[in-house]
Amino acid sequence: MSEKPKSKQQVFTLLVEVGRSKGDGLPKGSTGAGLLIYASGVDEAEAVRETVAILKQAEMSPLDVTGYGTLEERLENGDEIDDAERTLMERALAENAVIVAQMTPFND
C-alpha cells in the first residue's frame, strides 16, 4: 500500500478588508482597514480560511479577501518582490503562520 503524498505548504499573499468591531485595535475614527497578509496553506482556500479564523479571534471583522497567489505566481505576473517581503513569506512558511505585513486604516 502506498502512502498518500503529503501536500506541500505554500505561502499566499492576501489582501483582507476588515470592518470595525469592538476591540479590533484599529485607530479611532477609522472605518476599517486593508491588511496585507502572508499566509501558509496547502492551497489558497486553506490560507484564506486560516486567515479569516485568526482575524476573527483577534476581534476583527473580515469583509473581503483577495488572493494574489504564491511567490512563484506573483513573479510570473511580473510583481517585484523585495527582500523584506520574501523574508516575511519565508517566516510564514517556516512557522506555518499568518503574518500581517502591512495595515492601512480606512477613513471616510
- Starting at the earlier edge strand, list the strands of the sheet with 61-70: 61-70, 10-19, 32-41, 98-106
Q: What is the pTM of this model?
A: 0.90
How does pLDDT run across 31-55, given as a tens digit for each residue? 999 999 999 999 999 999 999 999 9
Report the C-alpha gap between 92 and 106 in whole angstroms.
Answer: 26
Q: How confident is the model at residue 4 (pLDDT cuts 50, 70, 90)?
A: low
Q: How is the chain split into domains, by residue range? A: 10-106
How does pLDDT run across 69-106, given as a tens digit for each residue? 999 999 999 999 999 999 999 999 999 999 999 999 99
Contacts of 10 (CB under 8 A, 6+ apart): 40, 41, 42, 43, 47, 70, 93
